[in-house]
Structure 1
Amino acid sequence: MADTAAAPSHLRPERIRDAVVAAAPALLFGLRLALGVSLALYLAFFLQLDNPSWAGTSAAIVAQPVLGASMRKGVFRLVGTIIGAIATVALTAVFPQDRVGFLLGLALWCAACSFVSTVLRNFSAYAAMLAGYTMAIIASSSIAAPDQVFTLAVARAAEISLGIACGMVVMSVTDFGHSPRRLAASVSALVADIGAGVGDQLRGLSHLDRRDLQTRRRALLKRVAALDPLIDQTIGESPGISDRRSTLRAGITGLFLALSAWRTISVHIDSLEPVEGQRQAHALLKHLPPDLGTLLPQRAEGATDAEDLVQRFKTWESAAATFRDADGAVSTSRLGLDRIASVLEGLNRAVNVEILLTDSRRARPINAVPQRLISDVLPPLVNALRVFAALSAASMVYVLTSWSAGPTFITFVAVTVILLSPQNEQASSAIIGFAAGSVLTAALAAVIKFAVLPNHEGYGSFAAIIFLVLVPLAALSTRPALAPVLIPATVNFIPLLGPTNLISYDMQSFANSALAIMAGCIGGAVVLQVMPPVPPATRTRRLVGLTLADLRAIARHPGHLSPDRWRSRVFARIVALPADADPADGSSMLGALTVGLQLMDVRETFARFGLDLAAVGEVEAAVSKGDLADIQSRLDTLRRVVADRFGDANDSVAISRLLAAFREIGETITNYRDYFGAVIR
């Protein structure tokens, strides 16, 4: 019998099948993007719009591999477009015949929008970007005819809105989305991992293992911060959840609070003698819900996922109340009881998110007023300055050269710098990729327009050619290594091609327009490279320092911040930490959060019992100065004040909780002595 050679491994059927399955999502995204662009261009041609390419370009920009991202991006792009169009009309009214004044106003408006986009996050930041460069888009046509600015603003807004609508419709009817499932799975995994970490902490591990737990806790802090964009995507895919977003945000806050409480437990146990620490840890562990690793009670037979989650919520709520109400005559026991209760309460907020995503009717409503906080004013100011400088330079080139394609050049400078400036340390690769992608797609558009399109007639042939270009570009742009080059190549293909109802094959006009677009993209990239963003180390140092400064302000001026606002401020800064920040920085900020909250609680309790607030003021004064030795001394004074007033009657929950607060403040400051004693510059 003849020998049969084995097929090469890469040609085996199972390998081919796996490759096709792996490539399918990217190819589907490419098809959706191309379909949205083709539909937008068809309708723009049918409606005889002035500049159909903006409709096609908007459809390409809106398309995202994740449905929720596409829907949210489309909505916020529409909002930003309307704001930008109104602002353009208003600016033209202020400078009707003053080109220099108008261009200066354009630079200032785009800088202001860049500032806002850096302050905001996710798709609300994108709306601010759109409000900025929409003015540049409209100005590219209206600057030569200011008397027609209103008509041009309406036309550009209509073209962009048409593209947005087409992109959103195509994505919504071809993709059912999976962001709610991803968010639920991520939250569930975090709940399990935090619960497992707390359980391991209480089981009493070796010193080496405790260091490993610290590393795990800090890694979990980053994972919680990374949930923010996934929440936005979930809201985009589930409009019914949009009015319950406060419940989603509360769940993320709960995870932060659980991590903060775990940190306190770890610091407290480490501060005790080993035998005593083990005794207290085991005492707490005995009363926790079973199986702390997953914190899952036994599921009732036939129960649904939603019923199981609701039962878990009730079990933990009851357990947390039990810990809160338990007697704790010794301050160290009270501290452990309250922090375990905090862990359960924080995790329960996250469980409530799982319930909301599984069966929204069963979720407990949480009403909270969202707080927009500026984590640090320096990065948005620097980005605003970069945008202003880039547009001022581009405007100067236009005024000095009177370049016919100058307005297009200014437009693409604006698009480049506004989009890329908030990316901070990720912008370097994006800047190079943006420039390379613009050159690549310009060459591709030239080949298509002058070598392919003249040999084909009709919209069907045109759409087929568009598909052959956009599908592979968009599909490959989902690969992280290729994204910096191929995302701008995909988005800029349609404006470079410049499709119109009656296509012009004027090589000189195309070259002029293509040169303006490429020069705008490359010029904007050069300005961003010459004027770098605030370095990650500086941003981290400022965020950590600003948190400490706020803590000292709270100590100097009681009532300066409410507990909720203090929590929101610290959590916003943790989310704003650069990706490569030392996890210990986030842990230090949680320590500052703990001290601030306990100082507020101590002052409130002293006032309620009629105790000497001057003694609390002395502790606050020591905290505001960063005098660690004085802080410990003043805490001892507070203990004596409580002892003098209540004697041995320290077994009430309120008094034992007060004593526990003194201990928690002292232990936290001792554990982060370098941070709390630092000199703020």
Structure 2
Amino acid sequence: MRCCLSVAIALYLAFWLQLDNAYWAFINVAILIQPLPGFLVVRGFARLTGTAVAGVVSIVLIALFAQSYVLFSAGLIAWVGICVFFASLFRNNMAYGFVLAGYVTSIIAVRSMPDPTTVFDVAVARTAETALAVVVSASVSVILAPSTTARAYFRARLEAFRAVGAQFLRLDRNPGEGGDPTGAGNTRSTGDETPHAGLHELVEKTLALEQTRQYARFDAPGFAEHDRLARRVDYELLSLVSAMASLQVYLAKFGDRIDRTPLKELDQAAQLMQRDPGDTQPIKQAFGHAYNSILNAARQGTADRRKRSLVDWVVISRALDLANRARAAVIKHGMLVSERSSRQKVRRDSEFSVSVDIRSALRNTLRAAVAMTCGAAIWATHDEPALAGMMVLLSVFTTLFALGDTPVANARGFAIGAACAAFFAFFADFVFLPQANSYATLMIVVMPVVFVGALAMATPALALSGRIFVVIFGLLIHPSNVGRTNFVTFAENLLGVALAIILAVTAFSLILPITPRQRLRERLAGVFGELAKGFAGERERFETRVYDRLLQLPVNAVGNNDTHVSARQAAFAAVNMGVEARSLRVLATRVQFPDRLEAEITGVLADLQALFDAGYPAVADVFAMQARANRLAQDMLDQAVVIDHRRRRRFGIRAAVAAELLSAALADYGLARRGAEDPGFQLGGISDVA
């Protein structure tokens, strides 16, 4: 309904203002409309900014190269290539702005090339139509659906807390127990029965939660007071996932030969969190009680303390860590639930930084340049009006294809949407619109089609086809103040659409082709590139960037369950290695170990970073480093338990735990590289349990 109303108002105002191309407003609304109004507001600003930049660049290109189609085409290709590069490099609205700056330049400049004196007027008209569409669609969405984004964020946060509670309950279960301990049955069956399956879904929910938070204040201004606190809650949840990931992988290696009693202390709080995460007070108290119970059990006599194995200390230390982090997250969540504002000064840099992939951006830039060059060669040598539309659509498709991993799949969605639009537009143009003699009758013809397209946009599986359907429909019926589309123009526009899709798909399929397995390996190299830089950097930045890369892994496209599992396993191992290595570095400096042990810690961390600087170390080297880290952990524990100073002893035990979990992460990565479990391999600390 918001889409239909926005289209109707935008078209009416475009007709009333006597704008040259009313259908531009129609198309802009169809592209802009979003389920979340806050996201629409930000995207509208990015679209308007990109259009304004495109107008300036168009004027410059025409001023410099109007005398030569060849020089003009070269300049246009270079500009579109630059925009494709940055659109591939960034994501979300930054990428969207570059997409707009690229293809709107083609719309304005190609349209103005036959008469260069009109370029300024066309640029102003395009910007005015875009501004009209942005203002109308944003206003309608915010007025009719106020605070929708903020409410969606709140619901998603509650769901994330429930998922965290369910994941807690999996930690104290032995592998032989089976089933869903929560009874909720809310974990998707992916065919992946490794410890990473639920964690991957939890990471996806947490990072998606953060994406929603960024736009909540744009349709609920009052949310700005809580924005920083909400961001910290999101990070606390992600930090909990990291803590659970390393422990869950560690426990899975030992099976039922490990004492999970400390983790069972967390069950009551986890059940409360899963049942009703909005009731924060009892959850907070339950986690506080669990922390105290685990701590009191750990503070037994000196003899008992020294008899504990390294594995025992891993479980105790990580259980305390989980209880503490969960309590902190619940406290912040409770503050947001009770709508207490956070008056802290907001940092400009977010810990939720986004990774970039220069190799993929360069590959997409070359593909787009080849596609645009082929289109420009046809356009410059053939004086056909349809080819101008083809150049415009080619720039649109190449910039949009650059945003995804599967341009052929995107082309299928484009083709389905365009074919449906052509069918309905033909009847609208030549059967119904000839009978329309007013704005009201125009709306009677247009609105049913827009309504159907908007319903498709709201369905994830049909969203791309639905959006293209509405956009191409608006292009083909071409509503304006100066008359209707004739059959020749209709056919030319349709042929231009088909030719643009063919050229774009051909270029993206044939230029530097990459298989799903190669793409997976390339993305994993990016994960380990972050790992090599993350041992001494900020924990927040490392965690969010490496999880961001984890979600980009094209594991579902490989079509091989072993590879799917191994890719996920290797990526989680990278997260665990980076987090635990950094914890080891920080904790070891607080303990004041003997010089010999300090030198060994420094050497292990330096060699670990060097091991992953090259991207893919040999598996034998990984297992050698794993054994070395395990020996270091045992040495640190032997030194830590005899320290009389309680604070230093606690830091020493936690440092030993970090080294042991680092060892487990290395083993997990080594097994992922082998592609299957090796029955001859055992973790270094398993003898302690036996």
Q: Which TM-score band (shorter chain)?
A: 0.7 to 0.9
Gap change, CA 1:291 and 1:550, over 3 Å in 2? closer
Q: Distance in 2 between matches of 1:379 and 1:548?
A: 16
TM-score by length of 1: 0.81
2:543 to 548, 553, 567: 567
| Structure 2 residue 322 is the aligned partner of structure 1 residue 343 | yes
CA distance in 2, matches of 1:53, 1:674: 57
Alignment CA distance shift 1:128-1:671 (3 Å)? same
- Equivalent positions of 1:264-413 (< 5 A) are 264-270=246-252, 274=256, 277-278=258-259, 281-286=260-265, 288=266, 290-295=268-273, 308-309=279-280, 312=283, 316=287, 329=305, 331-344=310-323, 346-347=325-326, 351=330, 354-355=333-334, 358-362=337-341, 367=346, 369-370=349-350, 372-413=353-394
- Greater shift in the superposed pair: 485-494 or 540-549: 540-549
Report the AA paired with residue 633 of structure 1: R
Report if aligned partners of 2:196, 2:569 keep a CA contact under 8 Å in 1. Answer: no
C-alpha distance in structure 2 between counterparts of 1:445 and 1:61, whole Å: 18
Counterpart check, 1:586 vs 2:568: yes
CA drift at 1:621: 4.7
Structure 1 residues 314 and 57, CA gap change in structure 2 (3 angstroms): farther
Secondary structure of the equivalent of 1:424? Answer: coil
Identical-residue share of aligned pairs (%): 23
The answer to whether structure 1 residue 416 and structure 2 residue 397 are counterparts is yes
* Larger displacement relative to structure 2 (242-251 or 392-401): 242-251
* Pairwise CA distance, 1:374: 2.9
**Aligned partner of 2:656 among 654, 659, 668:** 659
Distance 1:448 1:156 in 2: 25
Displacement of 1:466 in angstroms is 1.7
Structure 2 match to 1:8? none
Q: Secondary structure at the match of 1:294?
A: helix
Tell me, which stretches of 5 or more residues in structure 2 are unaligned? 181-192, 558-563, 612-616, 676-690
Residue of structure 1 in register with 2:686 after alignment: none
* Distance in 2 (alpha carbons) for counterparts of 1:82 and 1:322: 62
Report matched runs for 1:494-533 at 5 Å.
Answer: 494-504=474-484, 506-531=486-511
Q: Deviations over 1:188-207 (max 9, x none)?
A: 23322322332342254527
SS at match of 1:50: coil
* Matches of 1:191 and 1:443, distance apart in 2: 47
Q: Secondary structure at the match of 1:423?
A: coil
What pairs with 1:162-311 in structure 2 (closer than 5 Å)? 162-176=132-146, 178-204=148-174, 206=176, 215-227=197-209, 229-231=211-213, 234-241=216-223, 245-270=227-252, 274=256, 277-278=258-259, 281-286=260-265, 288=266, 290-295=268-273, 308-309=279-280
Could you say if the C-alpha distance between residues 188 and 423 of structure 1 is closer, same or farther in structure 2, counting changes exceeding 3 Å?
A: same
Note closer, same or farther for the CA distance 1:430–1:532 as it changes in structure 2 (3 Å cut).
Answer: farther
CA contact (8 A) 1:118 1:125 kept: yes
Could you tell me how far 1:158 is from its partner in structure 2?
Answer: 0.8
Task: Write the distance in 1 (CA, Å) between the matches of 2:328 and 2:50.
Answer: 33
Contact 1:445 1:497 in 2 (8 A): yes
Tell me, yes or no, if the aligned pair for 1:352 and 1:363 is still in contact at 8 Å.
no
From the superposition, tell whether residues 242 and 396 of structure 1 become closer, same or farther in structure 2 (CA, over 3 Å): farther
Q: CA deviation at 1:162?
A: 0.7
Contact 2:262/2:319 (8 A) holds in 1? no
1:72·1:232 contact (CA, 8 Å) conserved in 2?
no
- The CA distance in 1 between the partners of 2:57 and 2:178, in whole Å, is 60
Q: Deviations over 1:246-271 (max 9, x none)?
A: 54444443333222222332344456
Q: Separation in 1 of the partners of 2:541 and 2:245? A: 21
Letter in 2 for 1:615: E
Conserved? CA contact 1:382–1:533, under 8 Å = no
Distance 1:153 1:268, change over 3 A: same
* 1:161 paired residue number: 131
CA deviation profile, 1:516-562 (whole Å, cap 9, x unmatched) = 3443345434444445874443333223233334434566xxx4x33
2: CA distance, partners of 1:629 / 1:212: 24
Q: Contact conserved, 1:434 with 1:522, CA < 8 A, in 2? A: no
| Counterpart contact for 2:478–2:485, Cα < 8 Å | no
Amino acid at match of 2:585: R
Q: CA offset at residue 412 of structure 1?
A: 0.9
The structural deviation recorded for 1:133 is 1.3
SS at match of 1:598: helix
Distance 2:359 2:464 in 1: 26
Secondary structure, in 3 states, of the residue corresponding to 1:503?
coil
Name the counterpart of 1:456: 436
Partner of 1:9: none
1:130 is displaced (CA, Å) by: 1.4
Counterpart contact for 1:431–1:525, Cα < 8 Å: yes
CA distance in 2, matches of 1:249, 1:66: 19
Cα distance in 2 for partners of 1:382, 1:322 equals: 56
Instruction: Note the C-alpha offset of 1:72.
Output: 3.7
Distance 1:433 1:108, change over 3 A: same
Question: What is the total number of aligned residue pairs between the two structures?
Answer: 632
Name whichever of 630-639 and 189-198 sits farther off.
630-639
Structure 1 pair 111/346, CA: closer, same or farther in 2 (3 Å)? farther
Give secondary structure in 2 for the equivalent of 1:410.
helix
Q: Secondary structure at the match of 2:34?
A: coil
Q: Please, what is the CA RMSD of the aligned residues?
A: 3.8
Matches within 5 A, 1:590-605: 590-605=572-587
Equivalent residue, structure 2, for 1:20? none
Give the deviation of 1:484 after TM superposition.
4.8
The answer on whether the counterparts of 1:496 and 1:517 sit within 8 Å (CA) in structure 2 is: no
Match of 2:410 among 427, 430, 440: 430
Structure 1 residue 49 displacement after superposition: 1.4
Cα distance change of structure 1 residues 290 and 155 upon mapping to structure 2, 3 Å threshold: same
Alignment of 1:590-669 (within 5 A): 590-608=572-590, 609=592, 611-612=594-595, 613-623=598-608, 624-625=610-611, 627=621, 628-633=623-628, 636=631, 640=635, 649=644, 652-669=649-666
What letter matches 1:309 in structure 2?
A: T
Indicate how the Cα distance of structure 1 residues 262 and 167 shifts in structure 2: closer, same or farther if over 3 A, else same.
same
Conserved in 2, the CA contact under 8 Å of 1:41 and 1:53? yes
Cross-structure match for 1:11: none
Distance 2:129 2:440 in 1: 21
Please say which of residues 176-185 and 565-574 is displaced more in the overlay: 176-185
Gaps of 5+ in 1: 1-27, 300-304
Task: Read off the aligned partner of 2:542 and give its amino acid letter.
Answer: W
Residue by residue over 1:476-535, the C-alpha shift from the partner in whole angstroms, topping out at 9 and shown as x without a partner, is 454456555443121111222222213155443444344334433454344444458744
The SS at the match of 2:268 is coil
